[in-house]
A and B are shown apart, each in its own frame.
Chain A
Amino acid sequence: MTDQIDRLLAEAQMTDDPELRGLLAELHRAATSVRPMPSAELSALMLPGRRRPALGRRGVVTALVVVGMLGAGVTAAAASPDVRSAAQQAFQVVTGAIVSGSTGFAPHDHGASGQPVEPSRGASSSPHPGASDHPGPSDHPGNGATNAATPHPGETHGDASDHPTPTPSAGKDHKP
């Protein structure tokens, strides 16, 4: 950065002013000393593969059964150790049946396999390059179902819809 400051002072023919040079160095230091934390939305864009694949229908059913059985097991355990043992056996039987059933459909079951489906930009809940140059409704929290799965706690001030597509010429007619 010192090179840039030296070049600037040389262009202005003010290289013989060490105090001014110190001021500019201080400006650079003060202005770049804070590293902002990325918002949740930005973090999602920076960390590929972090999007959680949606549960398929069978996944939801399995989850509900497992939760229900666990709840029944806890209640039964409080009542009687014998009942708990029976509940555990029932749990194993039910989950075993579900797992074997899933395995039977495995070749066609991409949605519930736990692996991310091939990235589909149109279906993503995050903004992507091909969508639009203009910040649209899908870029804002609370607008539409596409954002329901991706909370954006750091974007409470980000109403970019007020802003036109940024271009270098945006300041052409800007006067102080």
Chain B
Amino acid sequence: MGKTPSPSDDHTLSERFTAAYQQLAPAVLGYLRSHGIDDPEATTHEVFLALYRTLDRIPGGDDDVRTMTFSIAHARVVDHHRARTRQPLAVPFESESDPRRAPSAEESAVASLGETNIFALVGSLGDEQREALLLRVVAGMSLEEAARVMDKTVGAVKQLQFRALKTLRASWDGAAEHD
């Protein structure tokens, strides 16, 4: 049985929660966007609601709150990918995506620009490589923290991020040649 929470407990919790949201929300949104989550903003809200429910049990400082926040976000990403593999993606017919249709000059130019987009480059990585890279670069985690979130050894994450960087470099070179 826990002690009855006092108003000051609520106030402290709200202060911590507000600070966590202000500090981490942009990175959580970017992390979810980079993973191709369908509605990243709504999922960001879900992540922070879940964080609020656990916040009073996180005894540590900002690093622990960040690790927990991205652990929750990571679980949502895993759920998203699992759901996507279970359900066939329903795509409505759009004339723009019909391969029998020739693209206009403007569309070709936009597509060319899109290939060099950083999100497109990151999207070309494998799921785990992308995860390791995003936890390090977008979430700002250490190697050890990223390993904890991914539930892998430090060595395994180190290997994943190395491959991710190699692949990213190669994709960048390929995109530059294409342009």
Contacts and interface: CB of A to CB of B under 8 A. Distances in A.
Contacts of A155: 42, 45
Contact of B7 (A9, A28, A119): A119
Interface residues of B, number: 74
23 contacts: A1-B137, A4-B136, A7-B142, A12-B161, A12-B162, A27-B133, A31-B30, A31-B137, A34-B30, A38-B48, A42-B52, A119-B10, A129-B56, A156-B42, A162-B83, A163-B79, A167-B71, A168-B149, A170-B74, A170-B75, A171-B77, A174-B127, A174-B128
B165 A26 contact: no
Interface in B37-55: 39, 41-46, 48-50, 52-55
Interface string B27-42: 1011101100001011
B2 A12 contact: no
A121 B52 CA distance: 14
Nearest to A47: B14
A4 B53 CA distance: 29
Given A12-B162, A20-B169, A118 B7 contact: yes
B114 interface: no
Contacts of B165: 8-9, 12, 14, 20
B168 to A, nearest CB: 6
A171 B17 contact: no
Given A34-B29, A41-B45, A133-B54, A166 B118 contact: no
A71 interface: no
A171 B75 contact: yes
Contacts of A82: none
Contacts of B55: 129
Contacts of B127: 174-176
